[in-house]
Amino acid sequence: MNWHIKRNRLNVEELINEESLFFLGNGYLGVRGNFEEGYPDESPTIRGTYINAFHDIIDIPYGEKLYGFPDTQQKMLNVQDTQSVHIYLGEEEELYTLEQGQVLNYSRKLLLDEGSTAREIYWKSPLGKELNIRFERLVSFVHRELFMIKLTLIPVNFSGKLKVVSSVSGDVENYVNEEDPRVATGEAKRLHLSRLLVNEDVGYIESQAEVSRLLAGCMTRHYTDVNAEMSVYKDDHSKQLLFEYVWEAEESVPASLTKRTIFVDSLRHEGDLYEAAIQLQQSLEDWRDDELFHKQKEYMVQFWRHGDVRVGGDFKLQEGLRFNLYHLLQSVGRDSYSNISAKGLSGEGYEGHYFWDTEIYMFPVFLMIAPDLARKLLIYRYSILSHAKNRAAEMGHQQGALFPWRTISGKECSSYFPAGTAQYHISADIAYSYIQYYQATGDTDFLLDYGVELLVETARLWMDVGHLNKNGFSINNVTGPDEYTAIVNNNYYTNVMAKHNLIWAVKAYQLAKRKNSKRVKDLAETLCLTKEELEEFKQAAVTMNLPYDSQFGINPQDDTFLNKAVWDMKNTPADEFPLLLHFHPLTLYRYQVCKQADTVLAHFLLEDEQDFETIRNSYNYYEKITTHDSSLSTCVFSMMAAKLGDLEKAFHYFGDSARLDLDNMHGNTKDGLHMANMAGSFMAIVFGFAGLRIKENGLHFTPKLPEQWSDYSFHVHGQGQLISACVTSQYMRLKLIDANRPVEVHVNGLHYRIKPDETLKVFLAD
């Protein structure tokens, strides 16, 4: 139940959104859900295939360029289009198309439990021939370079000639939109054909990025279960490979044709890409289609065993949750070259850049359900640490690491510094994720290999950018998560996250030293880290300026936020939201108006820094002036409403989060899915209603049940063990899955020890 996303009606106007909804990926490769046969003329489409981190470098134009502004940015490229398949019926060669004939029946499914899609069309040609058409797709989790389309044709009322022409195009470009700053505005054509080859029944296309000189190649071969005449040829003019198959079909007898494409790129595949593709293609030669689909399903069974979240009594929310988790899995990078972008691999919004979204929203999901993937996200950030140190120096700092606001390869891509480079908090966000990983796993070896160095270098940034004055350790001229307020002093979020970073730079060093003192001594020498510097970290943390207003009993967003006029939300027309598309940034900066959670988010991440009443007062204050124009916002308000005991509001905000893309609530699903929001729907259950917090002494739960649900259940990892959790109106049940040792947890402030052969049931009245 709730494992299939279905469309049983063909709505041409919705197809561009469905391209995102039905995309398939595996963290390396992403293919949008375009129709093999294409759409009716003038129907909008964004036809796309993407390799995670495969990019070109483009110049950033400035009317007025100042020192430290990035010269260039990276842009994720649309690579070779292998999706096209055209079907011709009879001697007349009637072309199957949505513009001609009649669609008698139609269905489309995204199979969340099997990791594939299926589309079925019952079509009647203008001359009366009826044909059942089935397209099945797979982007393999087991064989990362493989994209497969299986076509099955069944003539319903005729026998005779069938012809299938399958093509691969090297003439591709990126989508642009001059009207929307969330989408690229130029530089569409960046990938250029370098090789076009045919070798018997195999075709190969290789293309090169214009400036980065990165190479992407794809090798295509077809397999069929009928005795077909085959022709393969290349068209140098159109930069295409064409594969033609012709056979005599029999009425009611199914025939199948499978198109397998291997993608390779010069980031990950050594030597000649053509040879690499041949080896990969040959390694799959003995795999039958059904075996590939079966292996994919096995992978998904294992994922859902750890990742499924079940909600009793709400079909639509259940559907949204599984849909969101599935697409997160499809988009998360699995190597040191890649991360997970704001749109994943589903579309071109934000040009494939990685943001702080990864660490604060998406990383916690994988930390709880797939810690091995979470670890790889952290290793990617470590791999670009040298770029972060260079960026800090470029920004005038004598020490430290300033991670880029948006990037692919490690260099800053943001040209608008007030809401980009000025968001220094990204360095603290990355540090926070390293700390969370250690607290959840207890992996001290990870601290030795990566954590101490990264935490020290990010802590050094705060020592350089901040200074001690009469109000404490202050950090000036930065921007917090709220992009409607920029370049402020003592942004609460930034300061409290910097404090956490500084404290844990010292703790990580001490923990690692206890694990391996010799290695830490060598590391300290490499980093030129002294006891005096560690003591300075501690003092800065202790004296950190965390703004507080006694009149309202809140943490102001920054030093001057409460001095501004409050935006007139009530009289702002609905069609003027999101505000960033209708008002100049300076206009927004002059008002108390928030695009998204800022201080409220800080209270979620570091709740022990403030008392309960301050957190409650701050929530109530900021709720009135937050537009939620960012998809990152509602899940945070849901989690904090749950903490405060307002389950009605928590449920309301959660509903907005869970189905944002399925229902296209922001009107831009066509540009790609909102990955951080998708992660937020998981967090709203596990960190919101279940009240999970990852702390130094283990996992803490404060479970609550919305009245709309009968129960909910999920899995989390803690201390290297998988924990199954269920919450009802009466109790929380915790059980270890395949555990080899006990796990310590806290429920409603009380400490419990779960043994491998026992089930812990905590009654909520207690």
Q: pLDDT per residue over 594-622, tens digit each?
A: 999 999 999 999 999 999 999 999 999 99
Phi and psi for 100 in degrees, rounded to 5? -120, 160
Of the pLDDT bands very low, low, confident and very high (cuts 50, 70, 90), residue 326 is very high
**Which residue has better confidence, 221 or 184?**
221
- What pLDDT, on a 0 to 100 scale, did the predictor assign at position 186? 63
Long-range contacts of 706-713, Cβ-Cβ distance < 8 Å, separation of 24 or more:
706/647, 706/650, 706/651, 707/647, 708/313, 708/314, 708/651, 709/311, 709/312, 709/313, 709/314, 710/312, 710/313, 711/312, 711/313, 712/309, 712/310, 712/311, 712/312, 712/685, 713/309, 713/310
Q: List the beta bridge partners of residue 105.
A: 122
Residue 371 has pLDDT above 80, yes or no: yes
- What pLDDT, on a 0 to 100 scale, did the predictor assign at position 178? 62
> Looking at domain 4-58+72-271, what is its CATH homologous superfamily?
Glycoside hydrolase, family 65, N-terminal domain (2.70.98.40)
**Which residue has better confidence, 625 or 177?**
625
Q: Domain locations in the chain? A: 4-58+72-271, 311-352+650-766
**Residue range 27-35: average pLDDT?**
98
Reply yes or no on whether 120 is catalytic.
no
Of the pLDDT bands very low, low, confident and very high (cuts 50, 70, 90), residue 703 is very high
Residue 180 has pLDDT above 70, yes or no: no
pLDDT exceeding 90 applies to what percent of the chain?
A: 95
Q: Is the whole model's pTM more than 0.75, yes or no? A: yes
- What pLDDT, on a 0 to 100 scale, did the predictor assign at position 182? 55
Of the pLDDT bands very low, low, confident and very high (cuts 50, 70, 90), residue 179 is low
Q: Which of 51-65, 175-189, 743-757 has the lowest mean pLDDT?
A: 175-189
Whether the CA torsion 564, 569, 570, 571 is positive or negative: it is positive
At 55 the three-state DSSP class reads strand
What phi-psi label fits residue 42: left (phi over 0), alpha (psi between -120 and 50 degrees) or beta?
A: left
Count of CB atoms situated within 10 Å of the CB of 242: 19
Residue 319 has pLDDT above 70, yes or no: yes
- Minimal CA–CA distance to 601: which of 630, 561, 577, 579? 630
**Residue range 68-72: average pLDDT?**
96
Tokens 């001229």, residue? 477
**For residue 260, what is the enclosing H or E element?**
strand 255-265
* Alpha carbon 605 to chain centroid, angstroms: 20
User: Which residue among 114, 319, 453, 483 is the active-site one?
Assistant: 483
Task: Dump pLDDT digits (tens) for 96-117.
Answer: 999 999 999 999 999 999 999 9
State whether CATH 1.10.2020.10 applies to domain 311-352+650-766.
Answer: no
